[in-house]
């Protein structure tokens, strides 16, 4: 953690693409915010709508992706954007979107991370809000299991899929901008061909295309070379970092996660919030 005070950006920057689930074109713009504002989304395609705070209380669903909302207005698939914001330790930021879903781009957090870097990250003053853990905290949500302890801001994730290209993998990474840039940002989301019909029947992945994800058949990767042999576990670390941003502040502690999911990540965030509110 940097200790320089709250961080924002100096100038607006934009990026455009297609939403993974809606299939609709959208432009996302990061804009500077004043100290204490926090991170919040705005649906600029709609009139007279309230901002959507990037907080656990605003989660509408965490089924396969994280969706935030305020009243009847929502923004879909925010996790990669928030991972980039959190990795840069940005505390105050407007995120304007002219559609219902942020662009998926290449399926990683790298385009958002690089865009923010080009926006000139600056200190805007004010006190950083930090959440910590004073004892071991265990959380379970379905198959997802988490163990949080005081420590060195390391995230360790284990995935376990019955697939010849994945199997059981574990990756451990420090939560720091340099580590994120070099080892995590470019790790892409992934999916399986045999799930396509079921997901489309649920109204999802309307914007899926070969360049936005790692796609696997039952035996192999069908979308070209992986960026790392363990790209799958790296992307799950990215998702966890993005969902952890829903604390509304920075987190000081060590996380170990086994088979994490967006539902599990949000449950973890809520458990950390409860731990801090009760002074446990």
Residue pLDDT, tens place only, 186-231: 999 999 988 887 888 887 778 888 889 999 999 999 999 999 999 9
- Mark whether 109 and 61 lie in a shared domain: yes
Question: Is the pTM here over 0.85, yes or no?
Answer: yes
Tens-digit pLDDT profile for residues 158-170 = 999 999 999 999 9
- Mark whether 19 and 153 lie in a shared domain: no
Tens-digit pLDDT profile for residues 55-69 = 999 999 998 899 999
- Mark whether 59 and 195 lie in a shared domain: no
Mean pLDDT of 236-261: 97
Q: What is the mean pLDDT of the chain?
A: 94
Instruction: Point out the domain boundary residue: 83, 108, 123.
Output: 123
- Mark whether 146 and 102 lie in a shared domain: no
Mean pLDDT of 4-22: 95
- Mark whether 149 and 257 lie in a shared domain: yes
Tens-digit pLDDT profile for residues 145-195 = 999 999 889 999 999 999 999 999 999 999 999 999 999 999 999 999 888
| Residue 136 clears pLDDT 80, i.e. is over it | yes
Instruction: Flag whether 37 is in a domain.
Output: yes
Domain that holds residue 250: 130-278
> 256 falls in which pLDDT band (50, 70, 90)?
very high
- Mark whether 95 and 187 lie in a shared domain: no
Instruction: Flag whether 141 is in a domain.
Output: yes
Mean pLDDT of 243-248: 98
Instruction: Flag whether 1 is in a domain.
Output: no
CATH code, domain with 147 = 3.30.1700.10
- Mark whether 92 and 210 lie in a shared domain: no
| Residue 3 clears pLDDT 80, i.e. is over it | no
- Mark whether 169 and 71 lie in a shared domain: no
Instruction: Flag whether 74 is in a domain.
Output: yes
Tens-digit pLDDT profile for residues 110-135 = 999 999 999 999 999 999 999 999 99
> 1 falls in which pLDDT band (50, 70, 90)?
very low
- Mark whether 48 and 177 lie in a shared domain: no
Number of domains composing the chain: 2
- Mark whether 104 and 21 lie in a shared domain: yes
- Mark whether 93 and 175 lie in a shared domain: no
List active site positions.
Answer: 262
Tell me which of 106 and 4 has the higher pLDDT. 106
Instruction: Flag whether 99 is in a domain.
Output: yes
CATH code, domain with 25 = 3.30.230.20
- Mark whether 172 and 210 lie in a shared domain: yes
Instruction: Flag whether 115 is in a domain.
Output: yes
Instruction: Pull the structure tokens for residue 221.
Output: 């990767």
pLDDT above 90 covers a percentage of the chain that reads 88
| Residue 280 clears pLDDT 60, i.e. is over it | no
């Amino acid at each position: 953690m940097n200790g320089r005070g709250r961080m924002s950006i100096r100038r607006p920057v934009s990026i455009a693409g297609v939403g993974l689930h809606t299939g609709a074109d959208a432009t996302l713009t990061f804009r500077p915010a004043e100290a204490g504002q926090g991170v919040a989304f705005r649906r600029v395609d709609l009139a007279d709508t309230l901002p959507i705070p990037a907080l656990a209380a605003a989660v509408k669903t965490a089924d396969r992706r994280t969706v935030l909302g305020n009243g009847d207005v929502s923004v879909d698939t925010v996790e990669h954007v928030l991972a980039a914001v959190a990795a840069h330790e940005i505390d105050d930021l407007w995120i304007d979107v002219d559609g219902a879903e942020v662009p998926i781009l290449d399926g990683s957090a790298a385009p958002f991370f690089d865009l923010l870097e080009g926006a000139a990250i600056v200190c805007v003053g004010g006190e950083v809000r930090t959440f910590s853990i004073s004892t071991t905290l265990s959380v379970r949500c379905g198959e997802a299991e988490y163990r949080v302890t005081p420590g060195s801001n390391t995230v360790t994730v284990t995935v376990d899929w019955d697939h010849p290209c994945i199997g059981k993998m574990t990756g451990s990474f420090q939560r720091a901008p340099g580590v994120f840039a070099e080892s995590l940002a470019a790790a892409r989301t992934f999916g399986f061909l045999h799930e396509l019909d079921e997901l489309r029947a649920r109204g999802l992945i309307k914007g899926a295309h070969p360049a936005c994800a790692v796609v696997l058949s039952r035996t192999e990767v069908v979308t070209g070379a992986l960026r790392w042999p363990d790209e799958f576990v790296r992307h799950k670390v990215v998702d966890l970092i993005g969902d952890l941003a829903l604390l509304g502040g920075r987190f000081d502690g060590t996380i170990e996660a086994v088979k994490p999911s967006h539902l599990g990540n949000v449950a973890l965030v809520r458990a950390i919030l409860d731990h801090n509110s009760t002074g446990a």
